[in-house]
Chains A and B, each alone.
Chain A
Amino acid sequence: MRTRAVSVGRRLAALVGVQVATAAVLIGFAFASYGRLASDLAFMHRYVLARIEGLSDAIEYAAQLKLAAEAATETPPDVLLMERWRHDVHHFLERYRKEWAVAENTSDDARLFHADLERANRGGLVTEEVGAINDVARSLGRIETRLASAGSDGHVAASVENDARDLRTALRRLLKVQVAFVGIENAAIERRSGETYRWMWIIGILGLLGSLALGLHVHRAIAPRIRRLVQEVQRFKEFGVHHRLLEQGRDEIAILANAIDAGLDAIAAQERERERFLAIVAHELKTPMTSILGFTELALSRPETAEVRARALGLVRSHASRLGRLIDDLLLAASTRSGALPFRPQSVDAAGLTQKVAAEVALTMPGRRFELDVARGGHLLADEHLLTQAVWTLLTYAAAIAETGRVISVRLEPAAARLRLEVAFDAPSVPAQEMERAFAPFASVEYEGGSGIRSAAGLFLCREIARVHGGSLLAMNPTEVQRMLILDLPA
């Protein structure tokens, strides 16, 4: 399976990142475009339209000047009024040169406009503008000279007519240049708007495609694996069978899958252990039942045979004790699992209880030999039934895994308001981890026995009984071959 190193969080972050970046670029682009459009419109208003307005007035003044000059041949001219019109045109020209003349303007707007002119191959318009301005200036100069020498002389005033016509012609040329400028600027604005529109579409589509591709990638990277996890959990729920998901990599889903694998493995292992435990329990219940039923049936069918009758009774007695313990073990283990272990404390003679249980275990496990050192054990506050069961489980387990023929040492050791029951034995064939495994619920151990029982319940119940007494159960390996179980209880 392919290794997945990129985390799901990073994939999602990349997806969101692409979407945010696309939105940011589009918003930025929209703001920039809006700013540029506003700048273009401001330029149009400040320069082009204001120039045309000024030019219209100037043309009007030039026309009035020409009409006054034409009328001067018949009536005395109003030279002052004519001078005022000239002055107004002159004022317009000065302002034009100072603020509007494209050739002399060095503002950012003017530079952009120059670029637009070059792009439109209309750079010659600037030369035309300069020529028209110069013609306007020359006409105004001549008119100024003639009006200055005219006084009330109607002849001289009449000679202004030609210059006024030249002035108006030059102003019209300038107006045509302005109209051409408007056309070029408008085309430039339209071009820029179109470009903005296209780029916004391109960025939007690219962002959308990027988001879709990344989203699909994230979906493909996540959805099938999540579905597989769900299917596996569902299959496990329905059939109790677990096939490992084998997710490799370090992303969150791989971590989740591995956690589910581990969880399902643990559940399956517990289930197997439980089934194995139940199978052993069933076996342990049915094996003595075979002897009990067989011998009692035989005794009933042959009442004259005293030997068979005695054997049957003996079997019933010994197996009943063992079966009773086994059933108690099951019931108490079930109570422990449900958190309802009954606890009724009373004063218990620890030495007497240990001796009694050891004798009982020795009876059912004739191949095992116990060596007791319990003289120092006193009384302790405990639930006698539970403690008996715990010691029985402990000794049975020790007898189960101890090497055949070796002594199992059982010692009671009082220590500072506590009492320790130490069970030591040699079990070289049992690894230390096997002892740990015995603490799992429903753990069991099989061993080579003589007649009778061939398995023992694990130490889970024993540890729980120790816990409800405020004590503990420890498993130790003092040497390579020696194993020790210590039941530590408050005295």
Chain B
Amino acid sequence: MSDAAVLVIDDDADMRDLVRLVVEPTNVDVVGAATCIEGIAAYRICLVLLDYFMPGMDPACCARQLCSLTGSAAIVLCTAGVNPAARAAEVGLSRWLAKPFELDALETLVRDAVRQHTPPLTSEPATQDILEYPRGSG
């Protein structure tokens, strides 16, 4: 098991599988989550790829919770929506990855995140980290 993991929060299973297939050969674990609640329960996270359009999820709320729970992890908004920079700013994030993206860009993103990542002292998620999230526009 690697010290670092990439969390992919996306309701598109193809997208989760794609990230897994690209990232796992680099010895970085990939945790896929179809919803934000699933994603919050993850741990050892160095990079979060957060989808913008997800049914029943407020991406801004999810991003805030992820920021407070994942510590030094880089959180990147990954969206196929128009104007991804504005979307990222809207949810309070400074980084984004526009879909469709080249696999090299994803690999570079993961490498940078792993390099800058500081592993937490504990490897288990705290009970209070499992939170309820308001339903948003998706």
Asked if B55 contacts A448 (CB within 8 A), the reply is yes
**In the bound complex, how far is the Cα of B22 from the Cα of A279, in angstroms?**
28
**In the bound complex, how far is the Cα of B17 from the Cα of A478, in angstroms?**
42
CB distance from A15 to the nearest CB of B (A): 54
The A contact surface, by secondary structure, is helix
**In the bound complex, how far is the Cα of B12 from the Cα of A449, in angstroms?**
9
Asked whether any CB of chain A lies closer than 8 Å to the CB of B58, the reply is no
On whether A287 and B82 interact (CB within 8 A), knowing A448-B55, A454-B53, the answer reads no
Asked whether any CB of chain B lies closer than 8 Å to the CB of A417, the reply is no
Asked if B80 contacts A295 (CB within 8 A), the reply is no
**In the bound complex, how far is the Cα of B13 from the Cα of A298, in angstroms?**
16
Asked whether any CB of chain A lies closer than 8 Å to the CB of B129, the reply is no
Asked if B55 contacts A291 (CB within 8 A), the reply is no
Asked if B21 contacts A286 (CB within 8 A), the reply is no
The interface residues of chain B lying within 8 Å CB-to-CB of A279 are 81-82
The interface residues of chain A lying within 8 Å CB-to-CB of B102 are 293, 297
The interface residues of chain A lying within 8 Å CB-to-CB of B18 are 290-291, 294-295, 298
Asked whether any CB of chain B lies closer than 8 Å to the CB of A237, the reply is no
**In the bound complex, how far is the Cα of B37 from the Cα of A397, in angstroms?**
28
Chain B, residue nearest A289 (CB)? B100
Asked whether any CB of chain B lies closer than 8 Å to the CB of A446, the reply is yes
Asked whether any CB of chain A lies closer than 8 Å to the CB of B15, the reply is yes
Q: Count A interface residues, CB 8 Å.
A: 28
Q: How many A-B residue contacts, CB cutoff 8 Å?
A: 75
Q: Which of A444-486 contact B (CB under 8 A)?
A: 446-452, 454
Asked if A286 contacts B100 (CB within 8 A), the reply is yes
Asked if A290 contacts B99 (CB within 8 A), the reply is yes
Asked if B103 contacts A294 (CB within 8 A), the reply is yes
CB distance from A302 to the nearest CB of B (A): 9
On whether A289 and B99 interact (CB within 8 A), knowing A279-B82, A282-B81, A298-B22, the answer reads yes
Asked if A298 contacts B21 (CB within 8 A), the reply is yes
1/0 contact string of B63-87 vs chain A (CB within 8 Å): 0000000000000000111100000
CB < 8 Å: which of B53, B82, B101, B137 contacts A290? B101
Asked whether any CB of chain B lies closer than 8 Å to the CB of A130, the reply is no
The interface residues of chain B lying within 8 Å CB-to-CB of A291 are 12, 14-15, 18
Asked if A454 contacts B11 (CB within 8 A), the reply is yes
Asked whether any CB of chain B lies closer than 8 Å to the CB of A283, the reply is yes
On whether A308 and B21 interact (CB within 8 A), knowing A279-B81, A294-B100, A298-B103, the answer reads yes
Q: Which of A373-426 contact B (CB under 8 A)?
A: none
The interface residues of chain A lying within 8 Å CB-to-CB of B22 are 294, 298
Q: Which of A250-299 contact B (CB under 8 A)?
A: 278-279, 282-283, 285-287, 289-295, 297-298
Asked whether any CB of chain B lies closer than 8 Å to the CB of A301, the reply is yes
1/0 contact string of B12-56 vs chain A (CB within 8 Å): 111101100110000000000000000000000000000001011
The interface residues of chain A lying within 8 Å CB-to-CB of B17 are 311
1/0 contact string of A104-145 vs chain B (CB within 8 Å): 000000000000000000000000000000000000000000
Asked if A282 contacts B103 (CB within 8 A), the reply is no
14 contacts between A and B (CB under 8 A): A289-B100, A290-B18, A290-B99, A291-B12, A294-B101, A298-B21, A311-B17, A448-B138, A449-B55, A451-B11, A451-B13, A451-B14, A452-B12, A452-B14
Residues of A whose CB lies within 8 Å of any CB of B are 278-279, 282-283, 285-287, 289-295, 297-298, 301, 308, 311, 315, 446-452, 454
Residues of B whose CB lies within 8 Å of any CB of A are 11-15, 17-18, 21-22, 53, 55-56, 79-82, 99-103, 137-138
